[in-house]
Amino acid sequence: MAGLYCHGNAGTYFDDFVVESLEGVVGNAWSDTDGDGVDNDLDKCPETPEGVPVDQRGCHVQEKVVIEQGNFQLESGRITLTHEWKQVSFTNPFTYPLVVAKPLSYNGTDPATVEIAEVTPEGFRVRIHEWSYTEASHIEETLSYLAVERGHFVPGNGLEIEADIITTNVTGAGREKSAAVAQRVHFFSGFPGNPIVFAARASINGEDTVATRIDRVTPGGLSVLMQEQESNEQSHVYETISYIAINPGPAEIGGETLYTGRAKVTHEPSTITLPTGDKIEVHVDEEQSSNEETDHNEESVGYLFFSSNPHLFLADIQTIWCSDTANLRYEVVPE
């Protein structure tokens, strides 16, 4: 595998949502009437109750979003975690939940994956797992998860969503392993256009950790494969992969606006600007078990966030233009 790598095209990206940021707002003196840590001159929600979390505008943000409408159920939350297993409990029980959780924040620079296990109607376990060529421990990171009831739903107001599982042992990494080896999966029901897909391994059958990669997303389905670190033989036992597919664009449901969009991302940080003015930097993070090179070709990345808390942010690579083993990482851009 030595010497095989992808050269990146740095700095190219686009995003669906761009707004102008607040600039040049200067008060005569610092004043914070409601005690939320945001100056009155910048505070767009001036009567925030004491002690509730707020964004840079001084408006309340939620650490969890819970939506229930008929048979459709969704929960998204933001957690901190390390290499130790962490139990996450749902606010309300599901019948058959499918869970995805990515990308990791970038507090620790060692490449790593997220592992999900023991998904039940009440919750799931999750941890960071570094590749075997690095240390087993990892410092605390931030991660958002999305749980959706299994099935295909059109709850209205612009939202169409599907959640299901795939069982596969298809594995491939490195330039000689093209996306053509990926396993093809068909949706329950077709989408009107290409959906945005998030996928994650939901079982721990193999000893080695893997990255989950998707490709060739169409209205009728997607392709999926697993990637072990490049120094390993690309062979892995059968695992269960959960996926959640969502049609792109804003959708209002349950008092929330759910935004999805696409961006072009390489190994260089690419900035996605959200309607709230928040900025998220995302980059492709290759592991280095085979060589130290980490350049990565431009990939299409799909992302999701909620109006009540833009930092409930999920993203996944939608293509395999570069088939080196990789995951996404993100950072919130400070004001």
Q: How many domains does the chain have?
A: 1
Distance (Å, whole) CA 104 – CA 106: 6
The phi-psi region of residue 322 (left if phi > 0; otherwise alpha if psi is between -120 and 50; otherwise beta) is beta
Whether residue 113 is contained in a domain is answered as yes
Whether residue 211 is contained in a domain is answered as yes
Radius of gyration of the chain (CA): 20
Tokens of 54: 């707020």
Q: Is the dihedral of CA 196, 200, 263, 228 positive or negative?
A: negative
Would you tell me how many other CB atoms lie within 10 Å of the CB of residue 87?
10
Distance (Å, whole) CA 91 – CA 73: 11
> 225-254 burial by CB neighbour count: b if 16+ within 10 A, else e?
bbbbbbbbebebeebbbbbbbbbbebbebb
Whether residue 16 is contained in a domain is answered as no
Q: What is the pLDDT along the chain (335 residues), one digit of tens a residue?
A: 333 446 434 333 333 433 333 344 444 567 888 776 778 877 767 777 776 666 566 665 557 999 999 999 999 999 999 999 999 999 999 999 999 999 999 999 999 999 999 999 999 999 999 998 887 899 999 999 999 999 999 998 889 999 999 999 998 865 444 455 789 999 999 999 999 999 999 999 998 999 999 999 999 999 999 999 988 888 899 999 999 999 998 999 988 999 999 999 999 999 999 887 889 999 999 999 888 899 999 999 999 999 888 889 999 999 999 889 999 999 999 87
Whether residue 207 is contained in a domain is answered as yes
Q: Is the dihedral of CA 110, 265, 314, 330 positive or negative?
A: positive
In the three-class reduction of DSSP (H, G, I as helix; E, B as strand; rest coil), residue 180 is classed as helix
Contacts made by residues 131-136, CB under 8 angstroms, sequence distance 24+: 131/209, 131/229, 131/287, 131/289, 132/208, 132/209, 132/229, 132/289, 133/229, 133/231, 133/287, 133/288, 133/289, 134/110, 135/110, 136/83
The domain that contains 249 carries what CATH number?
2.60.40.3940
Distance (Å, whole) CA 109 – CA 122: 32
Residues paired with 251 in a beta bridge: 258
Whether residue 330 is contained in a domain is answered as no
**Cα of 72 vs its chain's centroid, Å:** 21
Whether residue 320 is contained in a domain is answered as no
Q: 76: closest CA among 94, 100, 55?
A: 100
Whether residue 29 is contained in a domain is answered as no
Range of the domain at 106: 64-260
pLDDT for the residue 22: 35
Distance (Å, whole) CA 130 – CA 142: 15
Whether residue 19 is contained in a domain is answered as no
Q: Is the dihedral of CA 127, 64, 140, 133 positive or negative?
A: positive
